[in-house]
């Protein structure tokens, strides 16, 4: 992999680091101050030993002790300030990355999103947020180590050029070993991250499918899948642990060899009278600090390889193509909705679902889309909602392409109610409001129209009843009523109902549609439903066949002229 390719893979991360660069730079300044003050503390000890204790210049004791105290205060203060600043950086960076990741998911093309696994996305997001630990731990510590290496190398060289040469030779070997192990660690880290994602996927999907697993007695099969993914993760983790043990076994002798070298050379010089005890103590302490600095620097290399893998994995999402958003706004309300020669297929390997679909939807009326299964009804609804974009042709709102408008502009004027709605594990009220601040009167009215008030009245906690994960405590019909209430509360200009009441009995569905017709008189409602009672009073019924408009008209007109509509009516259902 070339260095330019690597920069592309992780370069996007710098965009978010730049947004916290001010406070981060200040924290690194505190790192520099702590390094310098710590080395100063070491040198003061030399003066204390040689000047006060050996040469018995006790009058210097007060000044040396005061300087020692000042340096200690500076060191502690800079260390505390550094930690506080890094904590703020860490929190700010996490917030930026979390918001950016979710924004990417919201703007990801639906075709791509449907090929993603929720557990894998959750794992990638967690790993992305965990990558911020590198910038508040290993990176500052590594920079501290590099600064220490630079300063200490100069200081030790001034004290003993032979000692510096010996340490340098050992350090070069030490560096080579760590680079060798860092490359291997990066490869293993990638395996661990992928295994962690696989485990997250299995756990998330296993929990979501609990009812199906129990119903079909597939406990052993599910346990086997989870056991397999955990085994893969365990093997990768153990592989990394063995690598790190080999690294310690190979590199630690050089570290302790350096310290032993100082003791031998320094001790011999002290015995010959060529070096004072204070001088020897300082050399020993500086060498200890230098070996620690080398250790920290090489730990930085290892941590960098791990962070790079994590950032690259998240980058596959963060750098993915997203839906281009227009900048236009819809002024004066929606006056025209037109499908013009629209072609669409879900995958290249499949046939076209819509092929030359053209339709002017009368604004302010109720329009029904009917036809045999697979004719493209739901696809038409999803294209109009903006979940998908046509492969060719276009959808026009007020004579402008739908993609020319801001996404938020269109969704604020449109509601799309699907057959299988998603509910958050919260209260009924929260799931209806979705963060909107609406009066209780409007909430109750929406529930009356959707026939949900009958259900709520029987619950002990009423609107504050928790619906469970994905609304599991409610029946299919109750979930559909709740989402219809959600759409009514939004009161959109365009309401799309795609089998939105299919789980309800005919009488309840009839009452809901009657109330909706009254409430939405003069507004555009697009309905896809199986039952004739749902669509026969529509202002316009569009019969679709093979991805095109086959016929259209009122219920009476089609009943008289359309053989397909007559066949559907004879079945007493409208697919």
pLDDT digits 0-9 by tens, 251-282: 777 777 777 877 887 787 778 877 777 777 77
Report whether pLDDT(414) > 80: yes
How far apart, in whole angstroms, are the C-alpha atoms of residue 514 and residue 536?
Answer: 12
Would you place residue 209 in the very low, low, confident or very high pLDDT band (cuts 50, 70, 90)? low
- Report residue 367's pLDDT band, with 50, 70 and 90 as the boundaries: very high
Calculate the alpha carbon distances from 535 to 471, 544, 569 in Å. Answer: 28, 14, 11
**354 in a domain, yes or no?**
yes
pLDDT at 213: 66
Number of domains in the chain: 2
**370 and 574 in contact (C-beta within 8 Å)?**
yes
> Please, are residues 293 and 155 in contact by the beta-carbon 8 Å criterion?
no
Domain-located, residue 326 = no
Could you tell me if residue 88 is left (phi over 0), alpha (psi between -120 and 50 degrees) or otherwise beta? alpha
Query: 318, 345, 362: which is the final residue of a domain?
Result: 318
Q: For the chain, how far is it from start to end, CA to CA, in angstroms? A: 53
Per-residue pLDDT at 377: 92
Domain holding 433: CATH number? 3.40.50.300
Beta strands in 345-417 (DSSP E): 354-361, 366-371, 392-397, 400-401, 414-417
Q: At residue 2, does pLDDT exceed 50?
A: no
Dist CA 147 CA 297 (whole Å): 10
Domain-located, residue 324: no
Q: Are residues 251 and 308 in the same domain?
A: yes
- pLDDT, residue 8, reads 42
Same domain, 353 and 391: yes
Does 42 lie in the same domain as 149?
yes
What percent of the chain has a predicted confidence (pLDDT) above 90? 19
Q: When comparing pLDDT for 207 and 493, which is higher?
A: 493
3-state secondary structure 352-364: CCEEEEEEEECCC
Whether pLDDT at 157 is above 80: no
Of 298, 285, 302, the C-alpha closest to 252 is: 298
3-state DSSP helix/strand/coil % of the chain, to nearest 5: 65, 10, 20
Average the pLDDT over each of 2-16, 35-49, 164-178, 354-368 and give the range with the smallest value: 2-16
Co-location of 537 and 495 in the same domain: yes
Between these two residues, 87 and 210, which has the higher pLDDT value?
A: 87
Domain membership of residue 331 (yes or no) is: no
Q: Examine the pLDDT at 3 and tell me if it is beyond 60.
A: no
Q: In this predicted structure, what is the pLDDT of residue 574?
A: 44
247: confidence class by pLDDT, cuts 50, 70, 90: confident
C-alpha angle with apex 275: 274 to 281, nearest 5 degrees?
165
Query: What's the Cα-to-Cα distance from 503 to each of 70, 419, 477, rounded to whole Å?
Result: 76, 8, 5
Tell whether the model's pLDDT for residue 7 goes beyond 60: no
404 domain residue, yes or no: yes
- The per-residue pLDDT of the chain, averaged, comes to 82
Helix 277-318, helix 61-107: angle, nearest 10? 10
Q: Answer yes or no: do 58 and 183 share one domain.
A: yes
Q: Is the pLDDT of residue 148 over 50?
A: yes
Strand partners, 528: 498
Q: Are residues 269 and 306 in the same domain?
A: yes
What integer is the mean pLDDT of 293-321? 74
Q: Residues 172, 145: one domain?
A: yes
- Using alpha carbons, select from 361, 362, 344, 364 the residue that is nearest to residue 353: 344
The Cβ-side half-sphere exposure at 380, using a 13 Å CA radius, reads: 37
Residue 499 forms part of a structural domain: yes
Residues 32 and 167 in one domain: yes
The whole-angstrom separation of Cα 492 and Cα 350 is: 34
Q: Are residues 121 and 200 in the same domain?
A: yes
Lowest-confidence pick of 1-5, 189-193, 321-325 = 1-5
* pLDDT, tens digit, 9 for 90 and up, residues 163-195: 777 777 777 777 777 777 777 877 888 788 788
CB atoms within 10 A of CB 14: 11
Q: Which domain CATH number covers 42?
A: 1.20.1560.10
| Contact status, residue 456 vs residue 463, Cβ threshold 8 Å | yes
Are 403 and 463 in a shared domain? yes
pLDDT-derived band at 356 (thresholds 50, 70, 90) equals very high
Question: Cα–Cα distances in Å, from 146 out to 7, 42, 226, 561?
Answer: 22, 18, 43, 85
One-character DSSP codes across 512-560: HHHHHHHHTTTSEEEEE-S-HHHHTT-SEEEEEETTEEEEEE-HHHHHH
Contacts of 283 (CB under 8 A, 6+ apart): 156, 159, 160, 163, 262, 266, 275
Q: Among 290, 318, 346, which residue terminates a domain?
A: 318
Residue 323 domain flag = no
In a shared domain, residues 294 and 345: no
410 and 314 housed in the same domain = no
In the chain, pLDDT over 70 holds for what percent of residues? 93
Q: What is the pLDDT of residue 9?
A: 62
Q: Kindly indicate the confidence band of residue 337, based on its pLDDT and cuts at 50, 70 and 90.
A: very high
The pLDDT of 363-377, averaged and rounded, is 90
Is 328 part of a structural domain of the chain? no
C-beta of residue 407 within 8 angstroms of C-beta of residue 386: yes
* Segments forming the whole domain that contains residue 244: 3-318
pLDDT at 136: 82
């Amino acid at each position: 992999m070339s260095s330019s390719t690597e920069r592309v893979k992780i370069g996007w991360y710098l965009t978010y680091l730049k947004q916290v660069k001010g406070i981060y730079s200040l924290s690194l300044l505190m790192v520099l101050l702590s390094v310098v003050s710590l080395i100063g503390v070491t040198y003061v000890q030399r003066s204390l030993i040689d000047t006060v204790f050996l040469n018995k210049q006790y009058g210097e004791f007060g000044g040396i002790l005061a300087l020692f105290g000042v340096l200690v205060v500076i060191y502690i203060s800079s260390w505390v300030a550094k930690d506080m600043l890094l904590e703020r950086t860490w929190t700010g960076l996490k917030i930026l990355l979390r918001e950016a990741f979710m924004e990417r998911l919201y703007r990801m093309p639906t075709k791509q999103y449907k090929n993603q696994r929720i557990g894998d996305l959750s794992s990638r997001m967690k790993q992305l947020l965990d990558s911020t630990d590198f910038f508040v731990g290993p990176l500052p510590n590594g920079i501290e180590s590099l600064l220490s290496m630079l300063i200490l190398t100069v200081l030790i060289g001034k004290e003993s050029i032979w000692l510096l040469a010996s340490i340098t030779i050992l350090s070069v070997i030490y560096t080579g070993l760590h680079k060798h192990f860092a490359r291997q660690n990066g490869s293993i880290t990638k395996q661990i991250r992928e295994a962690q994602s696989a485990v997250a996927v299995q756990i998330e999907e296993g929990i979501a499918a609990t009812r199906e697993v129990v119903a079909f007695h597939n406990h052993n099969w599910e346990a086997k899948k989870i056991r397999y993914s955990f085994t893969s993760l365990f093997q990768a983790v153990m592989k990394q642990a063995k690598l790190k043990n080999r690294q310690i076994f190979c590199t630690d002798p050089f570290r302790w060899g350096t310290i032993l070298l100082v003791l031998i050379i320094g001790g011999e010089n002290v015995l010959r009278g060529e070096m004072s005890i204070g001088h020897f103590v300082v050399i020993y302490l500086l060498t200890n600090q230098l070996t620690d600095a080398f250790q920290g620097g090489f730990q930085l290399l290892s941590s960098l390889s791990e962070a790079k893998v994590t950032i690259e994995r998240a980058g596959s999402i963060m750098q993915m193509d997203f839906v281009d958003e227009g900048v236009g706004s819809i002024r004066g309300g929606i006056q025209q909705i037109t499908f013009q020669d629209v072609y669409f297929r879900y995958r290249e390997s499949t046939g076209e679902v819509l092929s030359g679909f053209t339709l002017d939807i009368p604004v302010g009326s109720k329009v029904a889309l009917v036809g045999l299964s697979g004719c493209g009804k739901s696809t038409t609804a999803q294209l109009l909602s903006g979940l998908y974009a046509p492969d060719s042709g276009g959808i026009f709102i007020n004579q402008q392409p739908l993609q020319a408008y801001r996404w938020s502009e269109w969704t604020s004027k449109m509601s799309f109610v699907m057959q299988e709605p998603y509910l958050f594990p919260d209260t009924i009220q929260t799931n209806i409001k979705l963060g909107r601040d609406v009066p209780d009167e409007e909430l109750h009215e929406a529930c009356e129209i959707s026939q949900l008030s009958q259900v709520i009245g029987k619950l002990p906690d009423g609107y504050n009843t928790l619906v469970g994960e994905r609304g599991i405590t409610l029946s299919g019909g109750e979930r559909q009523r709740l989402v219809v209430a959600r759409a009514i509360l939004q009161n959109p200009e365009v309401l799309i109902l795609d089998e939105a009441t299919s789980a309800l009995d005919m009488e309840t569905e009839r009452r809901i549609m009657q109330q909706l017709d009254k409430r939405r008189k003069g507004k555009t409602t697009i309905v896809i439903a199986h039952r004739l009672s749902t669509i026969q009073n529509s202002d316009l019924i569009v019969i679709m066949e093979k991805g095109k408009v086959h016929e259209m008209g009122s219920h009476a007109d089609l009943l008289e002229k359309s053989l397909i509509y007559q066949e559907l009516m004879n079945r007493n259902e409208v697919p």
